[in-house]
Structure 1
Amino acid sequence: MSFDFPKPIREAKVDLSGLTEAQILIRRGVISLGERAFGPRWQSFFATALSEVAGRRITQAQVSQWISGSRPVPDALFEPTRRLAIRAAEDLERRAAEIRMEWAPAAPEEDKADLATLA
């Protein structure tokens, strides 16, 4: 079972003709990371998080340019983006574990132990 976020209200116009194959792959990776880690309206959140990791200001407008293909993702931001991806994955794993702990059914032995403490 997968929970997909709704599509953005407005799709960006995309022209990748000015990008190399490597730049297109990095762009795809940025989009994938942004959507998976931050949801359908990911660009501002991604820019803020990348700014923190990169130690320099990244704006939503810059991210939008990368997505549209009007500018490539700068080479200097590849490593910070990779670090952000690892941090985002760790955060998602932590949050998933918290949800499981709160919502997973208790094992039968745990149920008995809980009942014994109530008696």
Structure 2
Amino acid sequence: MTLSPPKPPRREPKVDLSGLTDRQILVRQGVVTLGELAFGPRWQSDLAAALSQEAGRRVGQAQVSHWVLGVRPVPESLVEPLQQLAMRIAADLVRRADRIRADWSAAPQEDVDALPGPPA
């Protein structure tokens, strides 16, 4: 059996924010943070789909990629839908974290003791 040669390291995309204003850079960073925290490392397509639904118009992965790379700024018309999406996702993450805490905060033996005994 021959081993295939190792794959070359993934090339980092070239980000150029020189054409963006300070506000546009902040909005872009918010998009990146939201995408990574809400959808994980391969987040652009999922964010585009969620934003499309929130904004009521199609937003493609290529468009999100352009924002990330600094090719284009995030359109002002999408800032409010992004804020609404971010707040909805944040609330959902809090709800899920509360559920996890509730499920795991009690000592396991306490949970076992609380179970009903065998039928008599």
TM-score class, shorter: 0.7 to 0.9
Give the TM-score of the pair, scaled to structure 1. 0.81
The answer to whether structure 1 residue 63 and structure 2 residue 60 are counterparts is no
Using the alignment, how far apart are the partners of 2:99 and 2:107 within structure 1?
Answer: 14
In the TM superposition, residue 43 of structure 1 has moved relative to its aligned partner by 0.4
The separation in 1 between residues aligned to 2:16 and 2:25, in whole angstroms, is 11
The 1:103–1:113 alpha-carbon spacing in structure 2 relative to 1, beyond 3 Å, is: closer
Change (3 A) 1:55 1:10: farther
- The aligned residue for residue 23 of structure 1 is 24
Alignment of structure 1 residues 1-119 onto 2, 5 Å? 9-106=10-107, 112-114=113-115, 117-118=116-117
Q: Which amino acid letter does the alignment assign opposite residue 48 of structure 2?
A: A
How many Å separate the matches in 1 of 2:64 and 2:72? 9
Closer, same or farther: CA 51–38 of 1 in aligned 2, 3 Å: same
Identical pairs, percent? 59
Instruction: Count residues in correspondence.
Output: 109
Q: Deviations along 1:28-85, whole A, 9 cap, x unmatched?
A: 1110111111111110000000000000000000000000000000000000000000
Unaligned runs of 5+ in 2: 1-9
- Greater gyration radius: 2
Cα distance in 1 for partners of 2:29, 2:36 equals 11
| Letter matched to residue 118 of structure 1 | G
Gaps of 5+ in 1: 1-8
Question: What is the Cα-based RMSD across aligned positions, in Å?
Answer: 1.9
Q: Which moved more, 1:21-30 or 1:89-98?
A: 89-98
